[in-house]
Amino acid sequence: MPPSPPPRPRRFWDAISPTRWLRRYFGYSRGEARGVVGVLLLMLAFIVAPMLLRPELPKYLPAADQQGLNELAAQLKEHRTAEQGFANRYPRRDYKKFARGGSRYPKVAPVRLAPFDPNALTAEGWEARGVPHFVAARIVKYGAAAGGFKAKAQVKKMYGLDDSVYQRLAPFMQLPDAAPKREYAANRPGPDGKFPPFASPDAAAGKFPRKPRNLQPFDLNTADTTQLMQIRGIGAGRAKWVVRFRNQLGGYLREDQLDEVFVLRDAPDLRDSLKKYTFVTAGYAPKTLNVNIATFDELYLHPYIGKPRARLIIAYRQQHGPYKTVEDLKQIPILKLTDWEKMRPYVRCE
């Protein structure tokens, strides 16, 4: 038999070959060992590649940032200079000054006391004579509402006016100490044996005209304050409120709406008097609001709409488009049926 070939010398690569090592210790075939080595090399490449391919970090340049910061500071300075007029018009209040007892109102230079007409003074004029700011404004407002002061006693009764201040100003007021008493006709029968009517000289002169006893009913939607004041118990203030509520409402549709006037809520007798001497013309068409083009300010001023319902009407209109009919307002989820029935005669869709 032929002799066996001599063994091949062992090389260094064979000693450190990973495939040979895997075949020797794990019993893999040559193909399996090469596959495992390939997978390991691929994993190693995925780990090392990001570190080798990482881009270079940018260098921080403080000069560029400082230049941008300087430009921003210059823009802010120009913006503050442009709005300096707004700051002067609405100056900030010094609350620390108020806490120390300072006044929130500008001081008025005092004047030397001399005879003066209280009905001709402004609030600043009263302040210059030692009256506090809030009392001076109250005196001027009361004098304008009452048609002027008739006597010093009216000024003395002003709420907040210190008695020492009044005693110092009273000698210089060009007014009598007390209002003159009314003189009435003597309660004596005349030559015909009849008693004269009970009237004062001012009433005879027409200064305080008597209200008619036999008043004819008039239209509530066309009456002015003078007509309303002919009703007993209705003065200038209540008459203005009735007309003001009518203008905000767009017109009265029934006499029961007088119950909603602010100054008549606690006066059922006055409401009954108004309903007795006023009427609403049949078929009267009130002034209406177009809910498709009306703004928020126009809607919320209506007494039957207000701010919450105005927001709902505008929000629903923006989401779903213009209203086709007034009935579409019922689709607003939060709007109550009673509210819709009240506002229905005063709105329209066009």
The count of other CB atoms within 10 Å of the CB of residue 32 is 14
Mean pLDDT of 12-38: 78
For the ranges 190-194, 234-238, 334-338, the maximum mean pLDDT occurs at: 234-238
User: pTM of the full predicted structure?
Assistant: 0.42
pLDDT digits (tens, 9 = 90+) for 73-117: 888 888 776 555 555 555 555 545 544 445 556 678 888 888 989
How far, in Å, are 98, 231, 243 from residue 235 at the CA level? Answer: 41, 8, 12
C-alpha to C-alpha distance for 309 and 340, rounded to whole angstroms = 10
pLDDT in tens, 199-213: 444 444 445 567 777
Residue 240, pLDDT score: 92
Specify the pLDDT at position 101: 47
In this predicted model, what pLDDT tens digit does every residue of 164-177 receive, in sequence order? 889 999 999 988 88
Would you give the DSSP letter of residue 116? B
Exposure string over 114-125, b if 16+ CB within 10 A, otherwise e? eebebbebebeb
Q: Is the dihedral of CA 187, 193, 196, 198 positive or negative?
A: positive
Angle between helical axes of 18-26 and 30-53 (0-180°, round to 10): 130
| Maximal CA-CA distance, the chain | 186
- Please, what is the average pLDDT of the chain? 80
At a CB cut-off of 8 Å and minimum separation 6, what does 302 contact?
A: 248, 249, 250, 289, 343, 346
The pLDDT score that the predictor gives to residue 199 is 46
Residues 206-233 have pLDDT tens digits of 455 677 777 888 899 989 988 888 888 8
CA-closest candidate to residue 174, choices 131, 119, 136: 119
* Integer Cα distance of 133 and 202 in angstroms: 36
Please name every residue paired with 289 in a beta bridge, in sequence order, or none if there are none.
Answer: 347
Instruction: Judge whether 287 and 303 are in contact, CB under 8 Å.
Output: no
Nearest to 172 by CA among 212, 115, 213: 115
